[in-house]
Structures are given as structure tokens and as C-alpha cells.
Amino acid sequence: MQFLALFAGLLALFVSTVSSTALTYKLQANEKSCFFTWVDNKGAKIAFYFAVQSGGSFDVDYEVVGPNERVVMDGQKERQGDFVFTANDVGEYRFCFNNEMSTFAEKTVDFEIAVENEQRAQLPSKQGTTPEQTSSLEESILKLSSQLSTINRNQKYFRTRENRNFSTVRSTERRIFNFSIIESVMMVTMAGLQVFIVRFFFQGARKGYV
């Protein structure tokens, strides 16, 4: 029973230290949009993930700006990114997506911002629990957390691929439909032109015969 309580307490320590925000945003053409998060502790870890799900060539410009307008990282025409960096300053961090390069295509961007606000606390000593058991349990929790993070990243990757492939299929369907319409119009036009030429030929022949 004490082992289960210790396991639950350790799991709570790992979960409660991280705050995150996952959003989906539709970025209009010629639009720049920014999202903000506040960091209370110097040295906190910030995880930033984004992926363009649809629109244009599935790319976007991004920029991460820290306090005092210091650029932490940026990139141009990126399809997706997964970064972890250390917040060296306390204050507001700005995460911006820029679609000003596109004149007509809107883009759907999935992104997540996670901030580890606190240092991980030390486990309280329990009677009947040896340091070896505590260390082994902590290592198991870390492995479990790493595996869950890997699964989460894989799910995001497959979701992104599915959305992009679906968008490609829809774009191909539209092109095939438009091509079929153009082909049908051309066939009707050619048929009408042939009828007009044949009628003009026979009318000219009748006049010459008379």
C-alpha cells in the first residue's frame, strides 16, 4: 500500500510541474499571429511544437521572442518543428506564425507550448522504503514518461501526415474535376465547330452547284 502511495505521489510530482497549451489555429493569407506564455522561473524548460496541417505548400514562418525582444529562434518556410530550450530570462515569451508570404492560401497550424515551471521536488523519505527502491521507482517513472512522450510525438506525426495526405487527395480531386469540365467544354466546342464547318462547306457547295 505504501508502494502504491509512493508511486502516485511521484507521478503527481512529474505531472504537476508542467503546464502546457495545445491549440489549432487557422492562419489567414498575409496574416501574422502571436501567442504568449509567461515564465516565472529562470532556467525553466520550454517545449515548442508546431505542424502545418493544411494550406499552400504546408509551410510557415515562425519566430520565438523572449523578454527584452530577444529572438530565441526563428525559421522560414518550415513545415513543422519540435524544440526544447531553456528560458534564461523571467517574463513573457512570444510565439509567432507568419503567413505574409502567401497572397491567397490560408493555413491550419497545430501547435503546443509546454513550460516546466518548477524544479522537481525530492521524494519524502518513507518508513520501510529503501533509497534503492525509491531510485528504481523514479527511474521507472522517467522511462514511462519518456515512452508516453514518444507515443504522443508519433501520434502528432501520423496526424500531420494524415491531414496532409487528405489535403493532397482533395486538391487532386479538384484538379481532376476541373480538368474534366474543361475537357467536356472543349469536346462540345469542337463538335459544334465541326458541325458549323460541315454546314458551311455544304452550303458553299450548293451555291456553287446552282
Q: pLDDT tens digit string along 131-141? A: 555 667 777 77
pLDDT band at 114 (very low <50, low <70, confident <90, very high): confident
Domains of the chain: 18-119 (2.60.120.680)
Residue of 48, 53, 45 lying closest to 64 (CA atoms): 48
Tell me how far apart the alpha carbons of residues 102 and 133 are, in angstroms, rounded to a whole number. 57
Question: In this predicted model, which residue has the larger pLDDT, 190 or 21?
Answer: 190
pLDDT tens digits for range 57-67: 888 999 999 99
Q: What is the pLDDT of residues 154-187, one digit of tens each?
A: 777 777 777 777 777 877 888 898 889 998 999 9
Residue 28 confidence (pLDDT): 92
Burial class (CB in 10 A: 0-12, 13-18, 19+), 147: exposed
Q: What is the pLDDT of residue 27?
A: 92
Residue type present at position 62: Y
Calpha distance 102→117 (Å, rounded):
36
Q: What is the overall mean pLDDT for the chain? A: 78
Verdict on whether the full-model pTM lies above 0.75: no
Residue 1: what pLDDT?
A: 45
pLDDT of residue 131: 57
By CB neighbour count within 10 A (0-12 exposed, 13-18 middle, 19+ buried), where does 87 fall? buried
User: What pLDDT score was predicted for residue 198?
Assistant: 82
**Res 33: pLDDT:** 93
Query: What are 144's three cell numbers?
Result: 514511462
